[in-house]
Amino acid sequence: MFGFGTTNSLTMDKPHPDSLLDSGVQGVIGKPLDRIDGPLKVSGTATYAAEYQFDDMAYGVLVGTKISAGKVVSIDVDAVKSIPGVLDVVTDFDQFIRVSAQGGATDAPTQGVKDIAFFGQIVAIVLAESFEVARDAAARLPIVYDEAEGQYDFAAHRDETRTPPDDAAPAHFKQGDVDTAMADAAVTVDSTYVTPSQNSAAMEPHASTAVWEEDGSLTLYGAYQMPTSDAQQLAKSLGLSEKKVRIVARYIGGGFGSKLGIAPESVAAAIAAKQLGRPVKAVMSRPQVFEATVRRSNTEQRVRLAANAEGKLTAIGHETLASNQSTEDYFEPAGIGTHLLYGGENRLITHELVDVNLVLSGSMRAPGEAVGMLALEGAMDELAEKLDMDPIELRKRNDPRIDPEKDVPYSSRNLTRALDEGAVRFGWDKRQKAGTRREGEWLIGMGVASAVRGNMMMDSSAKVEIHPDGTATVSSAMTDIGTGSYTILAQIASEILGIPVENITMSLGDTNDPPAAGSGGSWGAASSGTAVYLACEMLRGKIAKAMGVDEDGLTLKDGKAIGDNRSTPIGELVGKGLEATGHIKPGKQEKETSQAGFGAHFAEVAVNVITGETRVRRMLGSFAAGRVLNAKTARSQCLGGMTFGIGTALTEDLIHDTRTGKLVNHDLGEYHVPANADVPQMDVHFVDERDIHANPIHAKGIGELGISGAGAAVANAVYNATGIRVREFPITLDKLLDQLPAV
């Protein structure tokens, strides 16, 4: 099918109750194995996009605009060409990309940079023999603008909205009559929550090293999460055949969605390398990453809840305003988790866009849930207070067994178990009424929030080869963005083939290998992992045939094939080598079941009555996301998500000047992500679960489940500590001080 040997394809049209991972013969699935790429990273020998070196390589520094709306009139390239070491200044007003591409798209992103849509829009790249010379010349490059009036103040234009087309979630959804249900309800909540723009703030900046081959093809060594679709975006941006573009992304220093699609530096480096006739490396500065890639949109969310006297929801309304550029249709799907989480026959979930001249809005870790759950779970906490009901009990009373919108069963759903088991481990029974627990000058509170993240299966493939020496190679265009893909995929192959993990070589992040969906949307391990599973399933059959035994009677363990009272080294059964390609794609199960991971976050905070400072003292996350493939990497993903939640609740705020559109805090010095002192001891608990409807490995994504609801648990804990409900994030001390009790 793909030209990579025999292919074992599966469309997820039916459940798979039996899994080859169930036997546990090799004993590696679920174990907390160390990441096999760890030693390379800590020793500095894992090569990232900005670290590739080529003979005769030139260094490119990008130049962004100094206005936020208008046109570029001229760029005086001759003014800096005379600087010693400068090689060229490349501008291409038509082909340079204006904005980063969205993840999964295969078309070119918006091109043409003469019209300016936001401050920092990339319009040129300066090339030099050294980075330092290129940086100096880029800073001096004269650009003449024709400035126009732009829209920079979201609040000033909040009434000028447009309805975007449906995306990952429907822009508008209506079921029943929320207004009538609100009027008839025993208890209601009608609250508006406001969240600011955020930046992914990955450790590694966006970077591309472009090399044109003799046959006219392009190899781009880039920091990209989804090489297969990114190569298609890049090819179309450059007017090339897809076969002429290769992307290599072996190691990626975090992405969190900002590297799902190609960013401006990729096309600029490629065009510059072509024009110069030399390899070109272009690395965005930290301010450029903030100014010219993507942000999570700010939102204004109105949440309405209606319930009877027993706390049973009769209506949920979740209406969101978000922002983006006028030419772009992506919207922050803040209501996406609301579709899945609670019952209630009357439902209204909408999203509207406000056009602004600010950096592109795009996917950031758990797009939708990360900020949407702040509003929904905050409103649920408000409802519990009005009902004088424990917040956990309220959530359990509204835990449906059938999807309230699609009227299909959940593939697996253990929200109540996650709440109950988490509550016991956290000591929820010690929680007191709001504003009543005090330790000296500190007010102490506990908060809880549910977690949900839709599970997605994506079209992916992987090739597995067994060599005559008994070792194996797994190759796929799948990536590892710090999530543990190298290790997890090796564990799957090891468990099924009985080959020790240390004897498996991994080749990831190269579009010369079988295509894959890449890392995004928490689908990576399940989708690419299933592709590896399918390839190994086929190889297992081939080994049984070579040994002359029935496959059901075959055991593969520690490099040996055991069956019919015989034990033979696997390498002796593969001749000159065996290979198979696994290919998985979504099917009917996505429509016949509602698939998601569920969980619960618990937080304890202390708020100082003198300073208003909030400290998170401890957190616990309880998650149900199918089979856990590696306890250590899964726990790490959850800890990272919970840390994101602390930032969402307390510190992160991407600030644009409403007069000029200029980003005020465009670096990690002033954009405040949680640091060590902000992050307490955190615990993670996994609810034992298998999802036979999701895939043959029975696993679901967990990376974004860990952030979903985490910030809401912190915010609800702040309320429990102080009795102050803050609905505008982040919860900084100025929003608490004037309401705190007297010292």
User: Which sequence positions are flagged as catalytic?
Assistant: 704
Q: What H or E segment, with its residue span, contains residue 560? A: strand 560-563
Residue 18 in tokens: 């039996």
* Backbone phi and psi for residue 419, each to the nearest 5 degrees, phi listed first: -65, -50
Please name which of 108, 88, 80 lies closest in space to residue 275, comparing C-alpha atoms.
Answer: 88
Contact 453, 523 (CB under 8 A): no
Q: How far apart are CA 578 and CA 538, in angstroms?
A: 10
Q: How far apart are CA 121 and CA 293, in angstroms?
A: 9
Tell me how crowded residue 393 is: count the other CB atoms within 10 A of its CB.
13
Instruction: Determine how β-strand 299-307 pairs with β-strand 346-355.
Output: unpaired
Contact 178, 346 (CB under 8 A): yes
For residue 635, give the 3-state DSSP assignment. helix
Query: Residue 257: left (phi > 0), alpha (psi -120 to 50), or beta?
Result: left
- Burial (0-12, 13-18, 19+ Cβ within 10 Å), 388: exposed
Q: What are the distances in angstroms from CA 265 to CA 101, 260, 272?
A: 12, 14, 10
DSSP annotation of 694 reads: T
Q: Name, in order, each residue with C-beta under 8 angstroms of 554's C-beta and a sequence gap of 6 or more.
A: 540, 543, 544, 547, 561, 562, 563
Residue 420 in tokens: 């109950």
Query: Taking the mean position of all CA atoms in its chain, how far away is CA 5?
Result: 32
For residue 201, give the 3-state DSSP assignment. coil
For residue 679, give the 3-state DSSP assignment. coil
Please name which of 281, 246, 242 lies closest in space to residue 265, comparing C-alpha atoms.
Answer: 281
Contact 506, 36 (CB under 8 A): yes
405, β-bridge pairs: none
Q: How far apart are CA 264 and CA 253, in angstroms?
A: 18
Number of H helices, E strands in the chain: 16, 29
Q: How far apart are CA 607 and CA 434, in angstroms?
A: 12
601, β-bridge pairs: 449, 621
Tell me how crowded residue 234 is: count the other CB atoms within 10 A of its CB.
32
